[in-house]
């Protein structure tokens, strides 16, 4: 069975395109805040419950630093662009299309890699609660849910719930 060069290069192009497409997924988010906040308690003590009111809810913005490009995206993009450019025309036109494909693919691949590894901004919330005994507790949470300033809350082993 004879396999043509054109079908082999089309198959290689599709494989390279699928590989580059996998690079577009964003990196997972790992937050350093711990929710729910668990106060240190003696082991012999039973459930720890407090009551209070939401005193403040503030937005905390943080940003992760981006990482520089490694060149892998440019290499993969250049290879893919070269294979696709080689499919066009014949003679000197094919050579020019291949060269343009390599350059364009390298630029596109580097751009995709830069977007994937760039800096990302995140938002979390700090909910401040004034307890009934006069103290203040602060909880860093991903979302305040239905809590509003002035709401009566119950703190049960570090879990905040409306009361």
| Residue 150 CA: distances (Å) to CA of 14, 56, 82, 89 | 58, 8, 63, 71
Give the predicted TM-score (pTM) of the model: 0.46
Per DSSP, the three-state class of 24 is coil
pLDDT of residue 27: 54
Token pair in block for residue 132: 């009934």
Phi and psi at residue 110, to the nearest 5°: -65, -40
As its CATH architecture, domain 37-65+120-163 has: Beta Barrel (2.40)
Are β-strands 49-64 and 120-131 bridged in parallel, bridged antiparallel, or unpaired?
antiparallel
**Where are the domains positioned within the chain?**
1-30+67-118, 37-65+120-163
Predicted pLDDT of residue 44: 43
| H or E stretch covering 74 | helix 72-85
Tell me the pLDDT of the chain (163 aa) as tens digits. 566 777 767 777 777 766 766 655 555 555 545 555 555 554 445 567 889 999 999 999 888 787 788 888 888 888 888 888 888 878 888 888 888 888 988 899 888 888 888 788 888 999 999 999 888 999 988 888 889 999 999 988 888 888 7
């Amino acid at each position: 069975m004879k396999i043509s060069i054109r079908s082999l290069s089309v198959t290689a192009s599709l494989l390279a395109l699928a590989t580059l497409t996998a690079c577009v997924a964003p990196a997972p988010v790992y937050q350093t805040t711990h929710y729910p906040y668990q106060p240190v308690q003696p082991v012999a003590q039973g459930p720890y419950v407090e009551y209070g009111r939401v005193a403040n809810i503030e937005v905390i913005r943080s940003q992760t630093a981006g990482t520089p490009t490694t060149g892998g995206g440019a290499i993969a993009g250049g290879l893919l662009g070269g294979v696709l450019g080689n499919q066009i025309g014949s003679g000197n036109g094919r050579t020019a299309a291949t060269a343009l494909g390599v350059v364009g693919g390298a630029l596109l691949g580097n751009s995709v890699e830069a977007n994937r590894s760039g800096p990302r901004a995140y938002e979390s919330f700090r909910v401040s609660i004034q307890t009934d005994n006069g103290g203040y507790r602060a909880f860093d949470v991903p979302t305040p849910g239905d809590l509003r300033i002035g709401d009566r809350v119950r703190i049960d082993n570090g879990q905040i719930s409306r009361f």
